[in-house]
Amino acid sequence: MISLRKTANELERLEELHRTALNCYSQALRSTEQNAIELDSGQASHFRTQLQALRDQLRADAGPKELESVQDSFESELKQYRDKTGEQVQRLRREVKAAAAAVESFTVSITESEVNLESGLKRELNTLNQSATSDDIQVMRGAIQASTAKIADSIQQMRSSNQLAIAQLKDEIRLLHQEVQAARRIQKSDPSAEGDQRITGCMEEFIKKNKPFSVLLVVVRNLDGLQNCYSANVIESVLRGFQSRFESMVPSSSMVGRWARDQFAAILSTAPGNAIEMSSQVVRKLSEPFLEEEKGATHSIVFNPRAGVIEYSPGSDLGKFQSRLKQLAGALAG
């Protein structure tokens, strides 16, 4: 009995140590998440999302293999964030240095023009003063004409020099405007329009035939952060893979499409209970990394999806159903 009691006590102690270790590790991830230095809001948001996903993996029954997996992922995410933050710092330094050089060049150009103009004006004024003491009208006229021409030429040179510098600055501003407009066009583009129409058409067909259906809605919560970290081409390519993976997990008879920029929907004819059970599997699978290559570099992209199910019964109020669907989307995104 004593031996059994000791064994039980030892097991309880080990279990308590296990829980404490998991809790401490989770708190360490939380502290890293909360105290991450934020130079770029998108990168910081993505980093925090990844750490949240790692903390979610620290379940109470997590064993050594799970802990090692979390540790490896944490180390990888930390190194990636360090490297990206370092690149951001270097880029900021280069931009500040280039801006300082441009301003210095512009200032030197203006200063040199002013100095040259002042020097030239003083020379011509001295010439005019000297000619004013002459009794020869022709000499005075010649001096005035020559000085006037030189002054006009100096002013024109300064104006041309300033206009060149201003034109260069305007060109830089124009390029920046083009980049901003291009970014806005990418943000405003709606790749979900076609999927939205197909999803809407499928729901309308069910309603017309007076058949019940369920909508399995998946919202990608960290899309904004990912778009700040990766190019638009990479994100759109991975989102296509996201949709393909989603389609592979639902019955082949289901309609799957991109409902909105960060939302994907599947129209299911299965019972709501089956759809709810399916949603947890879908989230687990869609949370696994997606690999995408660009210019020889391989990116491992992890989405943070949430899923919910809403049912439509024949004879239900369509307006209320649409309102509930919007509420579900808002709740999943929040």
Helix or strand or coil: residue 129? helix
- Same domain membership, residue 217 and residue 288: yes
pLDDT tens figures, 141-189: 666 667 667 666 766 766 666 666 666 666 656 655 555 554 444 444 4
Q: Which domain holds residue 19?
A: 2-89
- Same domain membership, residue 199 and residue 173: no
- Same domain membership, residue 202 and residue 308: yes
- Same domain membership, residue 205 and residue 327: yes
Total number of domains in the chain: 3
Residue where a domain stops, chosen among 89, 124, 157: 89
pTM (2 d.p.): 0.45
Residue where a domain stops, chosen among 64, 89, 114: 89
Query: In the prediction, which pLDDT does 297 show?
Result: 83
Q: Which residues pair with 256 in a beta bridge?
A: 266
Half-sphere exposure of 143 (CA within 13 A, CB side): 18
Residue where a domain stops, chosen among 60, 89, 118: 89
Does residue 95 fall inside a structural domain? no
- Same domain membership, residue 174 and residue 45: no
Query: In the prediction, which pLDDT does 188 show?
Result: 46
- Same domain membership, residue 203 and residue 182: no
Query: In the prediction, which pLDDT does 33 show?
Result: 72
Tokens encoding 191? 């790749």
What is the distance between the alpha carbons of residues 333 and 330, in angstroms, rounded to a whole number? 5
Query: In the prediction, which pLDDT does 242 show?
Result: 92
- Same domain membership, residue 11 and residue 84: yes
Does residue 130 fall inside a structural domain? yes
Does residue 234 fall inside a structural domain? yes
User: What angle separates helix 2-34 from helix 64-132, to the nearest 10 degrees?
Assistant: 20
What is the distance between the alpha carbons of residues 131 and 135, in angstroms, rounded to a whole number? 9
- Same domain membership, residue 135 and residue 215: no
- Each as own residue / partner, the long-range contacts of residues 68-76 (CB below 8 Å, 24 or more positions apart, any chain) are 70/25, 74/29
- Which regions in the chain score pLDDT beneath 70? 1-11, 13-14, 18, 34, 38-42, 58-62, 92-93, 95-118, 120-121, 124-125, 127-145, 147-148, 150-152, 154-155, 157-196
Does residue 94 fall inside a structural domain? no
Does residue 96 fall inside a structural domain? no
What is the distance between the alpha carbons of residues 62 and 66, in angstroms, rounded to a whole number? 6
For tokens 């990168």, name the residue.
43
- Same domain membership, residue 294 and residue 197: yes
- Same domain membership, residue 47 and residue 114: no
- CA-atom Rg of the chain in angstroms: 34
Query: What separation, in Å, do the N-terminal and C-terminal C-alpha atoms of the chain show?
Result: 54
Residues in the chain: 334
Q: Which residues pair with 215 in a beta bridge?
A: 267, 310
Does residue 97 fall inside a structural domain? no
- Same domain membership, residue 83 and residue 176: no
- Same domain membership, residue 321 and residue 225: yes
39: DSSP letter? S
301: DSSP letter? E
